[in-house]
Structure formats: C-alpha cells, structure tokens
A = this chain, B = another copy of it.
C-alpha cells in the first residue's frame, strides 16, 4: 500500500479535464433516446451545468463546444457568460455528420462543392475559435463507406489530405488541429480515419501544430491502448484524449467504468511519457454521453474517476519498478505496478479536497445542493438539447 506524497498532490492540482457541452443534453442509441426533466435547452444552460461539475470538483475548468449545436451570435458574450460561471470555452468540435449533403462524405467527398462546404464549415469553426480564444480545432471525421466498392479508398485519402491542408493553413499561430480516429460507425465498412496510424500519417504531413486525438472507445477489440499512448507521446503527436469507456463498441460509458485497470495503465503511460508535465501538448477531455444515468453526477463521477486513477498512476514506485524491470523479475515488476493500482486513494483525496475548499464527496455535495431540483423546476418548455440541435 502506497502513501500519497506531496509531489503527487501537487501534480494532481494541475490536472484539468475538459467537459463536452453535449454531455448535458439528451443522448441515446439508434433505438431510443430517453429524456429527463431538467435537461438544458441552450448552450448557456449546458455551461451552467458544466460549471456545477467544476465548482464541486475543481477539475473541469473548460467546456468544449460543438458547432453547429452550440452556435450563438455573440461568442464574446458567451465567453463572458462562461467566465462568470467560473469556466471558460475550450476546444471547438466540428460536425459534418448531420447534413444530408455529407451522406457520401464531407472532407473526402468526390464532389468538390461538398468538400468546400465542409472546409468552409471548419473555417467557420476557426472563426469561432478566434472569438472564444479556443486553442484546439478538433476534427472527428465521420466519413466512410458501408459496402465494398462503394467508394475509392485511396482517392478518399488523397482528397482528405488536401482538405485537411486547407483547414490547417487557415489556423492561427497559436491554434492546433487535432485529428481523431475511430474504427467504425457511423459507417460500417471503411472509415477514412480508422486508426492512429492514419491520423499520425496525416498530422505529420500537415505540420507541427497538428496532433492526434485518442478517443479511448474507438479501437478494435483487444487493442493495447496504452501502447498507442506511449508511442504517440514518444513521437510528439499526442494532442488530446477523449475519455470514455466501453465493453463492446463505442459504448460511451463513464470513463473508468468498464475497465478501471486499463485507465490506470493509460494514465501511467501519460505520466511516464511526460504528459503531466508543464508544456506537454496533451489535453484531457471527456467525450461520453449519458443514456440512462443522470448527466451532472455522471460527469462528476467521470472527472473523479480520472483524478483518482491519475493519483494511482502517480503512486507507482518508479525506481522500484525500473529495478525490477532491469532485473527481468516479471513478478516483482508487476507487483510494484499493481501495488499502486490496489491502493485505495479515496480517503486521502477526500481529505485533500477539503483542504482546498472543495467538498470531500462531490457526488453527495451535488445531491445536497438542490441544483437538480432547481433546474427541473426552471427548465420547462422549450426543446431539450440533444445531438440534433
């Protein structure tokens, strides 16, 4: 059993996990989207909910926006609104999966007009970034095909490279392009950015401010994700995480809920590769949607899971680990590693939270706060936010 040191707590104090605005709206499967009272109707209400998470955990100082879901007329005003709530606007996420024009591709489409439309959408996102001060443009490319022969795999890559270059060239000097990959869905035969290798090949071709986004739910079964983390850190191209977890496909469950040990291994490689150090290019975000559980406590649970597991990763006795590794003592090395994982960090973190003016138990504090009751009472009428709006 390991003791949490002051160094560990100092490292934890710098951790920030960005929340996705869309986590507070309704989400579901193709079969059913369950609705709940109190669901936000506007980006302002999403920000208010996100601010609750930050207020109770101190972990979530920024909120990612999704364009066009979070389109407003005045982003300066929205930024100020966020600041008043104690949060700031973060990554801008583009969306090319909800327009009929993109049925056969957006940045990869054979039709140059549709490609330009998709490029223009990203220019619009960059405009939003300038208005909000956002650093990252995140592109999750939903393009792909459903049937063998349907599209020209090679031609689609060439067009993608061209489209990405046009977007990248529009970025300001302090802005980054972060390219996410996903093995399948919404297309079921090919995806145009299915794996980290494809994302890596594209971002290295683009330039130094292009990075890979690793979404933990977007891999083939039995992929060793922490290896990819270590490799991308080594190559200097790990830009950000989209945290979530899954048992099967892109299940979008609470980070750490399906395989807590995997989350530990991932965060250990982040620590090992310098991803927690000042100046690291790595950003942490959640990207998960709550189908049946309550949304605000779901996000609180999520950031706490990341924090607790980061604490365990920081607890690993690195000199002892290195010594066992160098000696070829498999069982001893594994034991050092597991010792940190099995240590119950929760009491020490609760105490530390209180020392920083935060509730020891943020979930309980939320329940006591009455916030849920207030929003249920206030948010009557209007259209609940969801993926369609």
Residues of A within 8 A of B (CB): 1, 27-32, 34-35, 97-98, 100, 103-104, 110, 142, 146-154, 157-158, 183-186, 188-190, 194-198, 200-201, 219-224, 226-228, 230-231, 233-235, 246-249, 251-254, 257-262, 265, 269, 272-273, 291-294, 297-298, 301, 308, 316, 321-322, 324-326, 328, 330-331, 333-338, 341-344, 346-347, 363, 387
Contact = CB atoms under 8 A, between A and B. Distances in A.
A251 B188 CA distance: 6
A188 B149 contact: no
A328 to B, nearest CB: 5
A254 B333 contact: no
A304 to B, nearest CB: 11
Contact of A227 (B194, B230, B269, B347): B194
Contacts of A233: 154
A184 B249 contact: yes
Given A188-B248, A226-B153, A247-B189, A148 B334 contact: yes
26 contacts: A30-B186, A30-B387, A31-B98, A31-B387, A32-B186, A103-B328, A104-B328, A146-B253, A147-B253, A147-B254, A148-B337, A149-B333, A149-B335, A149-B337, A153-B272, A183-B222, A183-B248, A196-B197, A197-B197, A197-B198, A201-B235, A220-B223, A222-B247, A248-B249, A257-B334, A294-B331
Contacts of A190: 224, 227
A273 B200 contact: no
Contacts of A326: 110
Please indicate which of the listed interface residues A235, A293, A347 has the most CB atoms of chain B within 10 Å of its own CB.
A293
Contacts of A321: 149
